[in-house]
A and B are shown apart, each in its own frame.
Chain A
Amino acid sequence: MGLLLLGLVWLLLFAWRGLAVNQRGLPPVKPHLEEVNRLFVGETRAFLEDLKEVGPFLPVDGLIVVVLPVEAWDLPWYGYDWIYDIVDGLVASPAFHLVFEPGAPINEAAVAEDKLDGAYLVTGAELPEAFARRAEELARRPHLTLYRIGR
């Protein structure tokens, strides 16, 4: 009886946490373009700090994308290891994505000023055409890796 209960508790734990966590953990292949509707370009750190405040309250079908022109493991070398501190506060939002764009030219000056061209927020009511084109272009690149940040 005890062992049966143990098995049932295990199943319940998995159903409660496992399915949701695993869904979040599996890297999606392409962004959902129909949900893309606002571009943000600016200071990366300030942008992410803002997200930390609003991220958990965004609608589930919204999408936040941050594009970094480096591989994930290069972040510390470019001084972006603090991103992990910030995204820890964002995991409650299933709509948050970090996009790493390996091979993209790194603008050293922009990095020094903490401004990344590719960081943008996608939510709201309007869809600028220029951004839609950019997002479509990103989605078509075979080498682009899209990570969902979550645990």
Chain B
Amino acid sequence: MESMIDVGLALLLIPVAGAVLLRLADFRRQDLGLAWLPISWSLGTLPVYLLLFVCGHLGRLSAARGLFLPLLVLGFLVAVYSRRSAFVPRAAATGQGRPFWLLLPAALLVTCWWQQADLPYAGDELAIWGGRALCALEADDLGPGYHERVSAAIARGEQAHADYPLLNTLLQAWAMMSGKAELGAATRLPIQLFDLAALLLLAAIAVERCRPVFLRFLVVVMPFMTFWYAAPQAMSDRIVAFAALLAVDGLVPAPGRSARAAALRVWLGLALLVATKNEGAMLAGIIVLAALPAVWRREGKRGIARFGRLLVPAASIFIGHWTWAWQLGFENDLVPMSGGGQGLVAVLFSARSLDRVPALGGLVLRDLVLDPFAGAFLPLVLLGAILLCWRRLAAAWLPLLVAALGLAAFLLVFLATPYDLKWHWSTAGPRVVSQLDLILALALLLLLGDGTVAGDVEAGEISPGRG
């Protein structure tokens, strides 16, 4: 119990750090409405990740714990004494709402976690994310000591995917540095809290963008009643889902939202995607590609330059991570850079991938369309909403395009997997594709809009980074 309190206090520092960073960047709570808390939480995870990554690289991972609090206090003092916008009147953002109403869906999610609190810590959460956190803590670095331990664990068949980005792993290490050095409920908590943050963010978006109360309640609650969101596991898919929702929401204009608030969502979402998973980096690329034509059409070269600035944090994290992975010799098993194994690209351009199309189509239909296990029937409901609100389709084109491209990219990976298709799908398919659920939920909210079935809207305009 004492350990849980220590971990709780250490995790409390994360949203506090986020709030301090928001204040330093001249954001007030009213500027972000109900999204302030989930954004504070997710923003706060970045300094924890970066500090641990740098300290680990310098060979003293444990030094991060001692450094974090003084840096936080320093940031807090600067934020308090700068007070840049104290006398500048600004309109509050839309989507303020009453936080009280968020308690019910949040309580539903926490109840699901509570019911399964004794779920064994095993599978991918151990072999990919948690096991590496133990290795990092044991070695007290992210260099040779870490490499030696992870390589040995992989050779024993206990771990896999050493190349994966480290946000999840380092957040679990952060929890262990503050409590007991063992994996369990305490180390799952920082990862699970991204689900709670996603629920609060989706609720904030629903309040801001959608009027029909009954439907917006369903859109907020249903995705979190699915297996992949309701199970208390330390999987990175939930961070990817949250980050993708944040980035795409930032790219779809909302009346009353400042361009700064939109830009914050975009760069933070993309940075979290890249820091979390390789699929996250792929999804970040898809979001950027999907948004670029509209930015170019509306704002020309200057718009592209502004948009480009929002990619700097994600690009820095991507380059930093892959430089580190390359230095340690970690490479991706699906796209081997050496060794001559039959990788993703080779299989994709072979007849084997075409043969798999019918089988994969059947799996997708079963697990994603006709079954709520991973997708909460969102594709079916979305189809109904498109038929009913087709005039509002233009408002929802970006999330729909990102979801379609994301699904296509994920399915291509399964078509070209060097592993047995059914095995690979059963271990990862529904879970990976469920990362797109929250983007589908956003598209649904945009389609429902003001609740008028035959409403007419103008095409969505993208203007991140202006102002």
Contact = CB atoms under 8 A, between A and B. Distances in A.
Contact of A22 (B157, B215, B372): B372
Given A3-B388, A10-B218, A151 B119 contact: no
B355 interface: no
A74 B419 CA distance: 11
Interface stretch (A24-32, A47-55, A112-120, A121-129): A24-32
Contacts of B377: 10, 13-14, 17-18
Contacts of A21: 371-373
Given A81-B422, A143-B122, A22 B225 contact: yes
Contacts of A145: 120, 122-123
Most buried by B among A2, A3, A145: A3
A9 B448 CA distance: 16
B381 A6 contact: yes
A117 to B, nearest CB: 20
B226 interface: yes
Instruction: Give the 5 A-B CB pairs with smallest separation, nearest first.
Output: A18-B372, A145-B122, A25-B227, A84-B422, A81-B420
A22 B120 contact: no
Contacts of B451: 3
Nearest to B384: A6
A81 B218 CA distance: 38
Interface in B415-467: 419-420, 422-423, 426-427, 448, 451, 453
Query: From DSSP, what is the main secondary structure of chain A's interface residues?
Result: helix
B370 to A, nearest CB: 8
A7 interface: yes
A39 to B, nearest CB: 24
B368 to A, nearest CB: 11
A16 B243 CA distance: 31
Nearest to A102: B122
B6 interface: no
8 contacts: A3-B448, A6-B215, A9-B381, A22-B373, A25-B227, A26-B116, A71-B123, A84-B426
Contact of A3 (B160, B227, B453): B453
A145 B389 CA distance: 46
Nearest to A18: B372
Given A3-B453, A9-B384, A29-B120, A151 B215 contact: no
B448 A14 contact: no
A61 interface: no
Nearest to B115: A26
Given A7-B214, A13-B377, A81-B422, A72 B225 contact: no
A76 B218 contact: no
B119 A2 contact: no
Given A25-B373, A29-B120, A72-B427, 16 more contacts: A2-B388, A3-B212, A7-B212, A7-B214, A9-B384, A11-B218, A13-B372, A13-B380, A14-B372, A18-B225, A25-B227, A71-B123, A73-B427, A84-B426, A143-B122, A151-B371
B135 interface: no
A105 interface: no
Given A3-B215, A14-B222, A151-B366, A26 B422 contact: no
A67 interface: no
A10 B215 CA distance: 10
Nearest to B448: A3
B315 interface: no
Contacts of A2: 388, 453
Interface in B229-258: 230-231
A9 B381 CA distance: 9
B231 to A, nearest CB: 6
B367 interface: yes
Contacts of B231: 26-27
Contacts of B376: 14, 18
B373 A10 contact: no
Contacts of A143: 120, 122
A73 B119 CA distance: 19
B214 to A, nearest CB: 5
B118 interface: yes
Nearest to A83: B423
B103 to A, nearest CB: 21
A81 B423 CA distance: 7
B381 A10 contact: yes
Contacts of A25: 227, 373
Contacts of A3: 212, 215, 385, 388-389, 448, 451, 453
